[in-house]
Amino acid sequence: MSTSPPAAPPGLKQAIFPLQLLGFDVDPINSVQFSNHTGYKEGWEGEVMNGAQLAALLEGLGRNKLLGNYSYMLTGYIGSVSFLRQVLDVFNTLRNESPEVRYFCDPVLGDKGKLYVPKELVEVYKAEVLPVVSVLTPNQFELELLTEMKVTDVASARVAFEKLHERGVGTVVLTSCDFTEKPGSLLLLASVSRGEGEKPRVLQALQPRVSGHYTGTGDLIAALLLAWMEKLDGDIEGCILRACTTMNAVVERTKRGMDEGVNPNAELLLIQSRRDIESPDTSSSRVSVQTLED
Protein backbone atom coordinates (compact mmCIF):
# COMPACT_ATOMS: atom_id res chain seq x y z
CA MET A 1 0.00 0.00 0.00
CA SER A 2 1.57 3.24 -1.13
CA THR A 3 1.37 6.06 -3.65
CA SER A 4 0.68 5.39 -7.31
CA PRO A 5 1.00 8.49 -9.51
CA PRO A 6 0.39 7.51 -13.14
CA ALA A 7 2.81 10.03 -14.66
CA ALA A 8 5.81 9.36 -12.43
CA PRO A 9 6.62 6.34 -10.35
CA PRO A 10 7.52 6.75 -6.69
CA GLY A 11 5.62 4.34 -4.48
CA LEU A 12 3.82 1.28 -5.74
CA LYS A 13 5.36 1.36 -9.19
CA GLN A 14 8.84 1.27 -7.66
CA ALA A 15 7.93 -1.77 -5.57
CA ILE A 16 5.64 -3.86 -7.79
CA PHE A 17 7.94 -4.39 -10.77
CA PRO A 18 10.97 -5.56 -8.73
CA LEU A 19 8.84 -7.84 -6.58
CA GLN A 20 7.22 -9.42 -9.61
CA LEU A 21 10.58 -9.89 -11.33
CA LEU A 22 11.79 -11.68 -8.23
CA GLY A 23 8.84 -14.07 -8.25
CA PHE A 24 6.24 -12.47 -5.98
CA ASP A 25 2.54 -12.04 -6.70
CA VAL A 26 1.58 -8.50 -5.67
CA ASP A 27 -1.86 -7.04 -4.94
CA PRO A 28 -1.44 -3.24 -4.80
CA ILE A 29 -3.68 -0.73 -3.01
CA ASN A 30 -3.21 3.03 -3.47
CA SER A 31 -2.86 5.27 -0.42
CA VAL A 32 -3.16 8.33 -2.66
CA GLN A 33 -4.17 8.86 -6.27
CA PHE A 34 -2.00 11.68 -7.61
CA SER A 35 -1.31 12.80 -11.16
CA ASN A 36 2.44 12.79 -10.42
CA HIS A 37 4.75 12.85 -7.42
CA THR A 38 4.92 16.04 -5.38
CA GLY A 39 8.44 16.96 -6.46
CA TYR A 40 7.26 18.40 -9.79
CA LYS A 41 7.47 22.22 -9.80
CA GLU A 42 4.00 22.70 -11.34
CA GLY A 43 2.33 20.81 -8.49
CA TRP A 44 -0.06 17.88 -8.76
CA GLU A 45 -3.73 16.91 -8.81
CA GLY A 46 -5.54 14.07 -7.07
CA GLU A 47 -6.66 12.91 -3.66
CA VAL A 48 -5.41 11.29 -0.47
CA MET A 49 -7.30 8.08 0.21
CA ASN A 50 -9.03 7.70 3.57
CA GLY A 51 -9.75 4.86 5.95
CA ALA A 52 -13.35 4.37 4.83
CA GLN A 53 -12.20 3.74 1.26
CA LEU A 54 -9.69 1.15 2.42
CA ALA A 55 -12.28 -0.48 4.68
CA ALA A 56 -14.60 -0.88 1.70
CA LEU A 57 -11.86 -2.65 -0.25
CA LEU A 58 -11.18 -4.92 2.72
CA GLU A 59 -14.88 -5.76 2.94
CA GLY A 60 -14.98 -6.78 -0.70
CA LEU A 61 -11.85 -8.89 -0.42
CA GLY A 62 -13.16 -10.61 2.68
CA ARG A 63 -16.57 -11.30 1.20
CA ASN A 64 -14.90 -13.09 -1.70
CA LYS A 65 -12.53 -14.99 0.61
CA LEU A 66 -9.42 -13.37 -0.86
CA LEU A 67 -7.57 -12.55 2.37
CA GLY A 68 -6.05 -15.90 3.26
CA ASN A 69 -3.10 -16.19 0.91
CA TYR A 70 -0.75 -13.39 1.94
CA SER A 71 2.74 -13.73 3.38
CA TYR A 72 3.70 -10.05 3.63
CA MET A 73 2.18 -6.60 3.89
CA LEU A 74 4.41 -3.77 2.62
CA THR A 75 3.45 -0.14 3.19
CA GLY A 76 5.06 3.10 2.04
CA TYR A 77 3.66 6.63 1.82
CA ILE A 78 0.39 7.05 3.72
CA GLY A 79 -1.17 10.50 3.79
CA SER A 80 -3.96 10.33 6.38
CA VAL A 81 -4.39 9.10 9.95
CA SER A 82 -7.63 7.30 9.12
CA PHE A 83 -5.96 5.35 6.31
CA LEU A 84 -3.01 4.40 8.53
CA ARG A 85 -5.29 3.13 11.28
CA GLN A 86 -7.28 1.16 8.74
CA VAL A 87 -4.01 -0.36 7.49
CA LEU A 88 -3.58 -1.78 10.99
CA ASP A 89 -7.06 -3.31 10.74
CA VAL A 90 -6.03 -4.84 7.42
CA PHE A 91 -2.93 -6.34 9.01
CA ASN A 92 -4.89 -7.76 11.93
CA THR A 93 -7.34 -9.33 9.48
CA LEU A 94 -4.51 -10.82 7.43
CA ARG A 95 -2.87 -12.15 10.58
CA ASN A 96 -6.11 -13.81 11.67
CA GLU A 97 -6.22 -15.59 8.31
CA SER A 98 -2.46 -16.33 8.14
CA PRO A 99 -0.68 -16.02 11.52
CA GLU A 100 2.77 -16.03 9.88
CA VAL A 101 2.16 -12.89 7.79
CA ARG A 102 4.85 -10.23 8.30
CA TYR A 103 4.60 -6.45 8.11
CA PHE A 104 7.35 -4.59 6.22
CA CYS A 105 6.96 -0.87 6.90
CA ASP A 106 8.67 1.98 5.08
CA PRO A 107 7.55 4.82 7.39
CA VAL A 108 7.50 7.64 4.84
CA LEU A 109 7.31 10.71 7.07
CA GLY A 110 9.85 13.11 5.58
CA ASP A 111 13.54 13.70 4.99
CA LYS A 112 16.28 16.15 5.91
CA GLY A 113 14.21 17.85 8.61
CA LYS A 114 11.04 18.27 6.56
CA LEU A 115 7.77 16.40 7.14
CA TYR A 116 5.93 15.09 4.08
CA VAL A 117 2.81 14.09 6.02
CA PRO A 118 0.54 15.55 8.71
CA LYS A 119 2.45 15.49 12.01
CA GLU A 120 -0.34 13.46 13.64
CA LEU A 121 0.83 10.42 11.69
CA VAL A 122 4.12 10.36 13.58
CA GLU A 123 2.34 9.63 16.86
CA VAL A 124 0.22 6.88 15.29
CA TYR A 125 3.34 5.21 13.93
CA LYS A 126 5.03 5.39 17.32
CA ALA A 127 2.10 4.23 19.43
CA GLU A 128 0.25 1.82 17.16
CA VAL A 129 2.33 0.73 14.17
CA LEU A 130 5.75 -0.06 15.64
CA PRO A 131 4.52 -2.88 17.94
CA VAL A 132 3.31 -4.96 14.98
CA VAL A 133 6.11 -4.29 12.47
CA SER A 134 8.59 -7.05 11.57
CA VAL A 135 10.93 -4.94 9.40
CA LEU A 136 11.19 -1.13 9.46
CA THR A 137 13.10 0.86 6.80
CA PRO A 138 13.38 4.52 7.91
CA ASN A 139 15.76 7.19 6.71
CA GLN A 140 17.75 9.20 9.25
CA PHE A 141 15.08 11.86 9.80
CA GLU A 142 12.35 9.24 10.20
CA LEU A 143 14.48 7.26 12.66
CA GLU A 144 14.88 10.41 14.74
CA LEU A 145 11.14 11.11 14.69
CA LEU A 146 10.20 7.58 15.72
CA THR A 147 12.73 7.38 18.56
CA GLU A 148 12.59 11.01 19.73
CA MET A 149 16.37 11.40 19.64
CA LYS A 150 19.08 12.82 17.42
CA VAL A 151 20.96 10.34 15.28
CA THR A 152 24.32 11.73 14.20
CA ASP A 153 26.64 8.73 14.03
CA VAL A 154 26.75 4.94 14.23
CA ALA A 155 26.76 4.96 18.03
CA SER A 156 23.57 7.03 18.30
CA ALA A 157 21.96 4.96 15.54
CA ARG A 158 22.58 1.85 17.63
CA VAL A 159 20.80 3.44 20.59
CA ALA A 160 17.86 4.31 18.33
CA PHE A 161 17.77 0.76 16.96
CA GLU A 162 17.58 -0.67 20.47
CA LYS A 163 14.65 1.61 21.28
CA LEU A 164 12.79 0.23 18.28
CA HIS A 165 13.65 -3.37 19.17
CA GLU A 166 12.21 -2.71 22.62
CA ARG A 167 8.95 -1.68 20.93
CA GLY A 168 8.83 -5.02 19.11
CA VAL A 169 10.47 -4.28 15.74
CA GLY A 170 12.57 -7.30 14.77
CA THR A 171 14.76 -5.73 12.07
CA VAL A 172 15.54 -2.07 11.41
CA VAL A 173 17.29 -0.93 8.23
CA LEU A 174 18.47 2.69 8.17
CA THR A 175 18.33 3.15 4.42
CA SER A 176 20.00 6.56 4.18
CA CYS A 177 21.92 8.91 6.44
CA ASP A 178 24.25 11.88 6.16
CA PHE A 179 27.09 10.51 8.27
CA THR A 180 29.85 8.20 7.07
CA GLU A 181 33.55 7.90 7.81
CA LYS A 182 34.31 7.19 4.15
CA PRO A 183 33.89 10.24 1.86
CA GLY A 184 32.16 9.52 -1.42
CA SER A 185 30.22 6.58 0.02
CA LEU A 186 26.64 5.98 1.09
CA LEU A 187 26.13 4.24 4.41
CA LEU A 188 23.29 1.82 5.19
CA LEU A 189 22.93 0.33 8.67
CA ALA A 190 20.84 -2.64 9.74
CA SER A 191 20.05 -4.00 13.19
CA VAL A 192 18.57 -7.43 13.85
CA SER A 193 17.16 -8.24 17.28
CA ARG A 194 18.57 -11.37 18.93
CA GLY A 195 16.00 -11.45 21.69
CA GLU A 196 15.74 -10.17 25.22
CA GLY A 197 19.03 -9.85 27.06
CA GLU A 198 21.21 -10.00 23.94
CA LYS A 199 22.74 -7.22 21.91
CA PRO A 200 21.30 -6.93 18.39
CA ARG A 201 23.43 -7.80 15.38
CA VAL A 202 24.36 -4.56 13.59
CA LEU A 203 25.64 -4.50 10.02
CA GLN A 204 26.84 -1.72 7.75
CA ALA A 205 26.91 -1.49 3.97
CA LEU A 206 29.01 1.00 2.04
CA GLN A 207 28.38 1.76 -1.61
CA PRO A 208 29.56 4.49 -4.00
CA ARG A 209 27.64 7.76 -3.81
CA VAL A 210 26.11 8.80 -7.14
CA SER A 211 25.60 12.55 -7.49
CA GLY A 212 22.05 13.84 -7.95
CA HIS A 213 18.61 13.41 -6.40
CA TYR A 214 16.51 10.40 -7.35
CA THR A 215 12.83 9.81 -6.64
CA GLY A 216 11.62 6.47 -5.34
CA THR A 217 14.83 4.98 -3.96
CA GLY A 218 13.25 4.32 -0.56
CA ASP A 219 10.35 2.41 -2.14
CA LEU A 220 12.74 0.37 -4.26
CA ILE A 221 15.11 -0.58 -1.45
CA ALA A 222 12.19 -1.64 0.78
CA ALA A 223 10.84 -3.95 -1.93
CA LEU A 224 14.28 -5.42 -2.63
CA LEU A 225 14.91 -6.07 1.05
CA LEU A 226 11.57 -7.85 1.40
CA ALA A 227 12.22 -10.01 -1.65
CA TRP A 228 15.74 -11.05 -0.72
CA MET A 229 14.93 -11.69 2.93
CA GLU A 230 12.36 -14.21 1.75
CA LYS A 231 14.50 -15.72 -1.00
CA LEU A 232 17.59 -16.04 1.22
CA ASP A 233 15.63 -17.27 4.27
CA GLY A 234 16.68 -14.42 6.51
CA ASP A 235 20.36 -14.16 5.49
CA ILE A 236 20.54 -10.46 6.28
CA GLU A 237 24.10 -9.97 5.01
CA GLY A 238 23.33 -11.56 1.64
CA CYS A 239 20.05 -9.68 1.46
CA ILE A 240 21.68 -6.29 2.00
CA LEU A 241 24.47 -7.06 -0.47
CA ARG A 242 22.01 -7.93 -3.23
CA ALA A 243 19.61 -5.07 -2.51
CA CYS A 244 22.39 -2.46 -2.42
CA THR A 245 24.10 -3.89 -5.50
CA THR A 246 20.85 -3.54 -7.42
CA MET A 247 20.27 -0.03 -6.06
CA ASN A 248 23.73 1.10 -7.11
CA ALA A 249 23.26 -0.28 -10.63
CA VAL A 250 19.81 1.30 -11.03
CA VAL A 251 20.93 4.73 -9.80
CA GLU A 252 24.05 4.71 -11.97
CA ARG A 253 21.96 3.83 -15.03
CA THR A 254 19.48 6.55 -14.13
CA LYS A 255 22.32 9.08 -13.81
CA ARG A 256 23.64 8.14 -17.25
CA GLY A 257 20.16 8.68 -18.68
CA MET A 258 20.03 12.13 -17.11
CA ASP A 259 23.46 13.04 -18.46
CA GLU A 260 22.42 11.91 -21.94
CA GLY A 261 19.21 13.98 -21.78
CA VAL A 262 16.83 11.01 -22.07
CA ASN A 263 15.68 11.07 -18.43
CA PRO A 264 15.36 14.73 -17.37
CA ASN A 265 13.08 14.04 -14.37
CA ALA A 266 15.47 11.59 -12.68
CA GLU A 267 12.91 8.79 -12.56
CA LEU A 268 14.56 5.48 -11.74
CA LEU A 269 15.08 3.41 -14.90
CA LEU A 270 13.65 0.15 -13.60
CA ILE A 271 12.65 -1.51 -16.87
CA GLN A 272 16.11 -0.91 -18.28
CA SER A 273 17.59 -2.36 -15.06
CA ARG A 274 15.59 -5.58 -14.98
CA ARG A 275 18.66 -7.82 -15.19
CA ASP A 276 20.26 -6.01 -12.27
CA ILE A 277 17.06 -6.59 -10.29
CA GLU A 278 16.73 -10.28 -11.14
CA SER A 279 20.42 -11.20 -10.84
CA PRO A 280 22.54 -8.58 -9.06
CA ASP A 281 26.21 -9.11 -9.88
CA THR A 282 27.58 -9.49 -6.37
CA SER A 283 30.89 -10.90 -7.63
CA SER A 284 31.93 -7.53 -9.04
CA SER A 285 29.81 -5.38 -6.74
CA ARG A 286 31.30 -2.21 -5.29
CA VAL A 287 29.13 -2.70 -2.20
CA SER A 288 30.79 -3.95 0.99
CA VAL A 289 28.78 -5.41 3.89
CA GLN A 290 30.13 -6.28 7.31
CA THR A 291 28.93 -6.97 10.83
CA LEU A 292 30.01 -4.32 13.33
CA GLU A 293 31.54 -5.31 16.64
CA ASP A 294 29.53 -4.67 19.80
Largest CA distance in the chain: 55
Residues 105 and 125: their CA atoms lie apart, in Å, by 10
Residue 139 is inside which H or E element, if any? none
Residues 252 and 206: their CA atoms lie apart, in Å, by 15
Question: Which strands form 171-174's sheet, in the order they lie side by side?
Answer: 72-75, 102-105, 135-136, 171-174, 185-192, 201-208, 288-291
CA–CA distance from 78 to each of 5, 33, 160, 289 (Å)?
Answer: 13, 11, 23, 31
CA dihedral 224, 227, 232, 236 (to 10 degrees): 50
Residues 153 and 180: their CA atoms lie apart, in Å, by 8
How large is the C-alpha radius of gyration of the chain?
18
Active site residue 219: yes
| Active-site residue identified among 27, 178, 219, 235 | 219
The residues annotated as belonging to the active site are: 219
